[in-house]
Every structure is written in structure tokens, then in C-alpha cells.
Structure 1
Amino acid sequence: MRNPVMAIAFVAVFGYGLYNAAGYRPDSRPVAIPAAAPGALPMSPRPIKPNVVAYSTADDAMQGAKAKGRATLPRFHELIDAGTRGTYTVKFPLTQNGATEHIWLQLVGFSNGHFVGLLADEPVNGNKYKMGDRMSVAEADVEDWMIRDGGNVYGGYTVRQALADMPKEQAAKYGITFKD
């Protein structure tokens, strides 16, 4: 049974890119959110597949990370205008089949208040969209942003929170240095 207070919140944070090994999902049904791990709180984050974690919509820390991502969008624009090296991405809510996931878009441009790019991972809630699809996302819908150049990351506030929720040894494997 699907928990109505859970939402897919963390798609393709670490291994994003258009050449991801994920395959096309022919299934049009939303992904089932698993039960909490034994001994875990009912609202704790739940791994769905590699690089995909379901967070409760009531998770204050993740909601705070999204708020910080939105609030710092002017900094993202400053870094873009300065020609900062790296892969530019924004995270936004993508709804299909009545379920919402929060997914990264690898940018190719910005015009008239909209980020234009390619889906950076395979959505998990259906098959209407697939990795590499070109999309336009209104700046008002952006929840987080990230510029990644190797292990250096500007922004990525939801990534920071997800790493904080992982065991330290697992988080350390990603070798990410965050910059502001």
C-alpha cells in the first residue's frame, strides 16, 4: 500500500547525467514506496533504487533544503553569469500518474524565466517522460540547483541533506566538496 504522505524526493543526485545506466521503464504505474526499515521512524527516508530516496512531505529538514535552494537562485544566476565551470542542473517536481517525484534537469539554456534542459535521470513514476527528454521548467518551480565540476558542487542543498541522512561512511564515498 502506498503511503500518501511520502513523495519521491531525491532522483539522480549523485550519478546524474544523460549517460546513466538506468533503463527505460515500460511500466506506467508509480513506484511503490517501501515500508520503513525495521526500527526506523515511520517518516524516515526510504531508498527506492540507487540514487532515488523517498522523503516524507513532512520532513522539515528536506523542506528546509528546498527552501534554501529556492532562496539562493540569485546566487545560481551569478555563478552562471560568471561562467563557472561545471554541469548546471535544477531540481523540480515532476508529476505523472498522480505521483510527484523531484528530479534534476541538466540545463542547456535559460530564457524568459524558464530553464531549458534534458531530464538527467529516468523518472520512477511512469513512462510518459524518459531520461534525455527536453523540458522547460519555470524558475518559480525550481526547488534546488547545482553546479557540479567533478567532486566540487555549488548549491545542491537537497543533496547536502540527503548526505546528512546517510551513514557517514556511505556519504564519504561520494567525495563531494560543497561550495557556496
Structure 2
Amino acid sequence: MDQNEENKPSVIYKEQNEKMNAANVRAQESFKYFWRELYWESRRIIPAHDFAMIKLAFTQQFTEDETPKVEHMWVNNLNFDGEHITGELVNEPHQLTNIEKGDIVSRKVNEISDWMISIEEKTYGGFTIHTMRATMGEEERERHDQAWGLNFGDFNDVLLVHQQKENPGNLIEHPMCKIMGSNVRAYINKNPDEITIQDENGLSLLHKEAIAGNAEIVKILLDLGADKELKSKSNKTALTYAKEMNWQPIIEILK
């Protein structure tokens, strides 16, 4: 075997590792769409999601001279306060003993490795899964998708939001935001104190709508007197959260 053949496995591993790292970054950069969808799901009377999960890396070092073991596992039943994602571990670890299925965990957005939502058995996100699917042959990929029971679609064109192809505007504004605007206005008019209430993290309704990327509702809240200078317990305004989530329309409104 020549030297090129000997080096081939390590080259392939390095390339795949780089692609996985890129998938992690894409998941982190697009997390805002995941949270926006979960935010609206919490308001639905009839759930639309088959599931919604994020993937996190968990580590454990068993001996001082050993490389830490790493397992990437899924977490659901999620909440997000603009800084930390909190949820419940779905998987049973294979090797790790410092965490168990059902444990509550918390991480920052820059620590997630993936996110995925399924609506009507069609997936959104799943960047690391698509990276793996890209390495498979057609038959293997079909078996993989059947095992999940999901329509993953094209691994070269990962969807971020529901009906993205049919309605590209859904990337800019969630369709429910436009529908619910008048209801929000009517509710605040009847319950004006709601606009000043802050939760245990100091988040007001304006903070929460800015984090979730709901520009139309942010406009309504400002029109009804919401204080855009109000700060959370983390000393952040709605504009600060909008910038951290990179919701450009809301940044322009709050400026």
C-alpha cells in the first residue's frame, strides 16, 4: 500500500469532521427559526409538531490520562430565556454515567450541535443528519429515512421553516404572527397590565416577542406603550435580544 492509501482514512475523517463542525455552526446560526416555531407551537390549541428537539454534546472523563468520552444526544420539552436553552434528555447514554435519560440540562445557543423539527413527518433543520445522509448511497439513505419514518428531503437543501418553498416570506415572519396581531392588540387593550409584567428572568412580553422574532407584534406592543428601554435581569433590552438573535426587521423597529 502506498503512502497516499495509508493517509486516505485520516483525510476522510478530517473532511467529515470539518463538515460536522460546519453543520454545528449552521444549527447555531439558524436556531432563531427553531425557537420562533416552538414559541408559536406553545400557543396552538392543536399541536402541529411531531417533535422538536435540539442535539447537545455531553462529555465525561473516566481517567486522568484518557481522552474524554463524547456523546451527542437529543433534548426535548424545551424552554429558552434568550440566553439558556433548558430541556429534558431524550436518549439513554451508551457510555456516559454522569447523565441519564430524563435529566434536565441547560446550554447556551453556541453550545448546541443541531436542532430538528418534524411537521407532518417532514423535517426542518437536522444539519448533522443531512451531513451523514450526504455520505450514504441512495439505497442506504432510503433505509435510513424509513427507519426514522420521516421525509428528510434533499441533503443539499436543508429547510429552516414550514412551507419555505411555497411561501419564502415565512423566513421573514411567521404566518401566525400576522394572523394573531389583532388578537394581541385586543388582549392588551383589555389587560393593559400585561405589557409591564416581567417574569422570573425579568422578561417582559416585548422581550419575549423580540427573542421570538415577531416583528408585527413588536410594533403593536410599542404602539400600545411598551417600554423598549425596559431591561431584563440580565440587563438586556428587547433590542439587545433582537441583535443577539439577529432578527434584522426587529432591530430596525427598536432602533
Q: TM-score, normalised by structure 1?
A: 0.62
- Quick one: structure 1 residues 58 and 155, their matched pair in 2 at CA, closer, same or farther if it must change by over 3 Å? closer
Moved more, 142-151 or 152-161: 142-151
Q: What does 1:1-180 align with in structure 2 at a 5 Å threshold?
A: 41-42=9-10, 44=12, 59-83=17-41, 85-97=49-61, 98-111=68-81, 113-149=83-119, 151-173=121-143, 174=145, 175-178=150-153, 179-180=159-160
Alignment size in residue pairs: 133
**TM-aligned CA deviation for residue 138 of structure 1:** 2.1
Q: Kindly indicate which of the two structures has a greater share of residues assigned to helix.
A: 2
In structure 2, distance between residues paired with 1:57 and 1:113? 32
The percentage of counterpart residues that share the same residue type is 22
Contact 1:90 1:107 in 2 (8 A): no
Any unmatched runs of 5+ in structure 1?
A: 1-39, 46-55
Cα-to-partner distance string for 1:74-99 (whole Å, 9 max, x where unaligned): 11122223325231111122111222
Deviation above 3 Å: which 4+ runs of structure 1? Answer: 42-45
**TM-aligned CA deviation for residue 43 of structure 1:** 5.5
Counterpart amino acid of residue 50 in structure 2 = G
In structure 1, distance between residues paired with 2:86 and 2:15? 26
Cα-to-partner distance string for 1:48-78 (whole Å, 9 max, x where unaligned): xxxxxxxx69722111111111111111122
Q: Kindly indicate which of the two structures has a greater share of residues assigned to strand.
A: 1
Q: TM-score, normalised by structure 2?
A: 0.46
Q: Determine helix, strand or coil for the equivalent of 1:143.
A: strand
**TM-aligned CA deviation for residue 104 of structure 1:** 1.3
Contact 1:89 1:105 in 2 (8 A): yes
**TM-aligned CA deviation for residue 44 of structure 1:** 4.7
**TM-aligned CA deviation for residue 140 of structure 1:** 2.7
RMSD of the TM alignment (CA)?
2.7
- Quick one: structure 1 residues 126 and 86, their matched pair in 2 at CA, closer, same or farther if it must change by over 3 Å? same
Contact 1:104 1:120 in 2 (8 A): yes
Any unmatched runs of 5+ in structure 2?
A: 1-7, 42-47, 62-67, 154-158, 161-255
In structure 2, distance between residues paired with 1:106 and 1:170? 27
Contact 2:116 2:125 in 1 (8 A): yes
Higher RCO structure (Cα 8 Å, ≥6 apart): 1
Cα-to-partner distance string for 1:89-128 (whole Å, 9 max, x where unaligned): 1112211122222221113322352222211212233222
In structure 2, distance between residues paired with 1:113 and 1:125? 29
